[in-house]
């Protein structure tokens, strides 16, 4: 009996030792199918195309500036890139015609998708990228005049977003011309968008208004300075109207955030040609249905088009703006999806001359991309936008 007991005991001891050997801790692995790695291939793309927002302290809810920070978001990167949502601000046609519409190149897109779905490898440790910090300098250099907002913008602990309007006296007593206008966030983690306008009657232009937009500010976008000989008019003793959209990400749930941003004004030299705003909105020319809406406007003066921007953002909407000159030649000005919260002003690389009598036609189409998306749990049908609310503005000079 003792012998059998000893045998059984020995056997159990061996099993125990075997278990210990088999569970001896080691390094974990996961399947890697991506030939591209973070250090060599992915980081440069993320740094250049995403790093202005996706950096520690940036407005995006996560940094993508290290491998460890990026890996948990691999699936999010895949879906956002596939959906065409990130990086934002690209146009549907001819991105090269604009100064600020570059998105991912075909190769960059493929690298990101291959890496995100292929095990997110890191690459050689010796090639770990240097730490990236958020750039807090003015992209165009120190402005001629820096105007700090007169009060703090606050998003309370129980709020997620808030739009706050600030009236900012310029204190500039003579008429000046501006080549660029910028905004430097005080708290970059909460400043999601801003519009900077000047409040006073325009002295000229096709649409005299009491408030003219000088700048549309979005995170991650450098301001565009006007070419020499062009300028935005800043009337004497003008007041700026600065509307800031503040939004907290999930990182700051139940926390109060405060901001005090600064507006930067860059003066143009001499007496340049004044940049005017031409509003394109539905009028008696408007025709359409729930899926299709179009309207047009005829130029009453010779103009050069510098930029175009949407006044509203609409989901699932494809917008196209086409100019037809009196000689019947056509030029496609822009084709894009005006996404809410990403109302970018697109600057043409070269001003587009349009003679008096040119017809500018705006077409808005319901473009349901829902069936294409891999977001299997997204709504089965897209929310239909109110296409008749589509409005755009062209920046023109005579």
Partner 1 sequence: MDTSRVKHILTIAIVLLTIATAVAQRGKPPAPPTLPPILMTCIHHPDVLESKPGTCPYCKLPLVPVRLDSAWMCPVHTTVTESNSGKCRMCGRQLVPVTVSLTWTCAADRATQHLEPGVCADGSPRIGARTLRAHGNHNPQHGGQFFMAPDNWHHLEGVHPSARLFRLYIYDDYGRPLASAKVKDIEARVVTKENFDTATRKTTEITAFPLKAPRNRAYLEARIDPSTLPAEMTAKVQFGDDQPEYRFDFTFPAFSKEPATPTVRPAVTQPLSTPAVPPASAPASSSELDPLAPAPIPTSMSGMLEQLEAREKQVGELIARGDFAAVWVPAFQAKDIAIALEPHVAHLSPDKRDAGEPALSRVVRTAWLLDAAGDVGNRGQIEAVYAAFKAAVADALAAFGEFR
- Site residues for partner 1 per CB under 8 A: 1, 4-5, 8-9, 12-13, 16-17, 20, 22-35, 61-62, 67-68, 71-76, 79, 81-82, 84, 92-97, 103-107, 109-110, 113-114, 117-119, 122, 125, 250, 371-378, 381
- Residue 11 or 151: the one with the smaller Cβ distance to partner 1 is 11
Report the nearest approach of partner 1 to the CB of residue 329 (Å): 13
**How is residue 97 written in tokens?**
């015609």
Using DSSP's 3-state secondary structure scheme, residue 123 falls into coil
Strands 145-148 and 262-267: antiparallel
Q: How near is the Cβ of 107 to partner 1 at its closest, in Å? A: 5
DSSP 38: I
Q: How many CA atoms lie within 13 A of 129 on its CB side?
A: 23
Cβ proximity to partner 1, 66 vs 164, nearer residue: 66
String of DSSP letters for 48-63:
HHTTTTSSTTSSSSS-
Of the candidates 69, 88, 76, the one whose C-alpha atom is nearest the C-alpha of residue 113 is 76
Question: What are the C-alpha distances in Å from 284 to residues 67, 203, 288, 294, 326?
Answer: 55, 27, 12, 11, 21
In the complex, minimum distance from the CB of residue 344 to partner 1, in angstroms, rounded to a whole number: 17
Nearer to partner 1, 8 or 201 (CB): 8
Q: Which two structure tokens, joined as six digits, stand for 90?
A: 């690209």
How far apart CA 142 and CA 60 sit, in angstroms, is 25
How far apart are CB 327 and partner 1 at their closest, in Å?
A: 18
How near is the Cβ of 72 to partner 1 at its closest, in Å?
Answer: 5
Per-residue b or e along 216-244, where b marks 16 or more CB atoms closer than 10 Å to that residue's CB: bbbbbbebbbbeeebbbbbbeebbbbbeb
Q: Is the CB of 142 or the CB of 379 nearer to partner 1?
A: 379
Nearer to partner 1 by Cβ, of 125 and 137: the residue is: 125
Task: Give least dist CB 158 to partner 1, A.
Answer: 16
By beta-carbon proximity to partner 1, the closer residue of 2 and 137 is 2
**Residue 352's Cα: distance from chain center in Å?**
24
In the complex with partner 1, the residue whose CB is nearer, 13 or 300, is: 13
CB atoms within 10 A of CB 322: 17
Beta carbon of residue 179, minimum distance to partner 1 (angstroms, whole number): 27
């Amino acid at each position: 009996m003792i012998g059998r007991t000893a045998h059984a005991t020995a056997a159990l001891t061996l099993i125990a030792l075997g278990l210990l050997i088999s569970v001896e801790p080691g390094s974990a692995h996961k399947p890697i199918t991506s030939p591209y790695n973070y250090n060599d291939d992915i980081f440069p793309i993320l740094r250049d195309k995403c790093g202005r927002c996706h950096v520690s302290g940036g407005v995006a809810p996560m940094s993508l500036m290290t491998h460890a920070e990026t890996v948990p978001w691999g699936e999010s990167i895949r879906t956002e890139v596939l959906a065409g949502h990130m990086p934002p601000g690209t146009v549907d046609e001819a991105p090269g015609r604009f100064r600020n519409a570059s998105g991912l190149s075909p190769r960059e897109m493929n690298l990101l998708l291959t890496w995100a779905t292929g095990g997110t490898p890191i690459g050689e440790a010796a090639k770990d990228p240097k730490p990236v910090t958020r750039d807090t300098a003015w992209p165009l250099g120190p402005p001629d005049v820096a105007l700090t907002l007169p009060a703090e913008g606050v998003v309370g602990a129980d709020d997620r977003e808030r739009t706050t309007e600030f009236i900012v006296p310029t204190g500039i007593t003579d008429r000046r011309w501006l080549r660029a206008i910028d905004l430097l966030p005080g708290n970059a983690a909460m400043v999601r968008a801003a519009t900077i306008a000047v409040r006073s009657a325009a002295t000229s232009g096709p649409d005299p208004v009491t408030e003219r937009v000088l700048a549309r500010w979005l995170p991650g976008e450098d301001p565009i300075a006007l070419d020499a000989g062009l300028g935005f008019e800043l009337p004497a003793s003008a007041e700026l109207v600065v509307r800031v959209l503040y939004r907290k990400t999930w990182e700051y749930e139940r926390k109060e955030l405060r901001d005090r941003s600064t507006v930067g004004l860059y003066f143009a030299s001499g007496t340049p040609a004044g940049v005017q705003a031409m509003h394109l909105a539905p009028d008696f020319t408007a025709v359409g249905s729930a899926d299709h809406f179009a309207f047009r406007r005829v130029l009453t003066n010779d103009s050069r088009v510098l930029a175009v921007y949407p006044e509203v953002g609409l989901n699932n909407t494809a917008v196209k703006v086409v100019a037809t000159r009196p000689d019947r030649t056509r030029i496609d000005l822009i084709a894009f999806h005006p996404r809410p919260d990403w109302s970018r002003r697109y600057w043409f690389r070269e001003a587009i001359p349009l003679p008096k009598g040119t017809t500018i036609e705006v077409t808005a189409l319901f473009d349901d991309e829902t069936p294409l998306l891999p977001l299997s749990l997204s709504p089965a049908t897209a929310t239909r936008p109110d296409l008749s609310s589509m409005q755009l503005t062209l920046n023109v000079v005579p």
